[in-house]
Amino acid sequence: MSEETPAPTTAHFVVVKCNDCSKEQIVYRRPSTVVHCTICGALIANPTGGLADFRGEVLRLLP
């Protein structure tokens, strides 16, 4: 994941690419539980009480 944080926006979901298997997955930007890849089970995002700590690469924001 790059160190850049997406600019604040009204988007509530992002497309995240798994670092292990390269599957793209839609993830809520403010999850309340950990998010794992649906294919390989790798950690995609950790909840932080605000915007998630994404472990995969954030590809784009969804409106």
Contacts of 15 (CB under 8 A, 6+ apart): 24, 25, 26, 27, 58, 59, 60, 62
Strand order of the β-sheet with 35-36 is 35-36, 43-46, 53-54
pLDDT digit string, tens, across residues 16-62: 999 999 999 999 999 999 999 999 999 999 999 999 999 999 999 99
pLDDT score for 18: 97
Give the separation between CA 37 and CA 57, rounded to whole angstroms: 12
Choose between 12 and 7: higher pLDDT: 12
Structural domain that includes position 34: 13-62
Token representation of residue 3: 């160190």
Does 43 reside within a domain? Answer: yes
pLDDT score for 63: 83
Look at the block and give the residue holding tokens 């969804």. 62
Does 6 reside within a domain? Answer: no
Choose between 35 and 4: higher pLDDT: 35
Domain with 39 in it: what CATH number? Answer: 2.20.25.100
Does 25 reside within a domain? Answer: yes
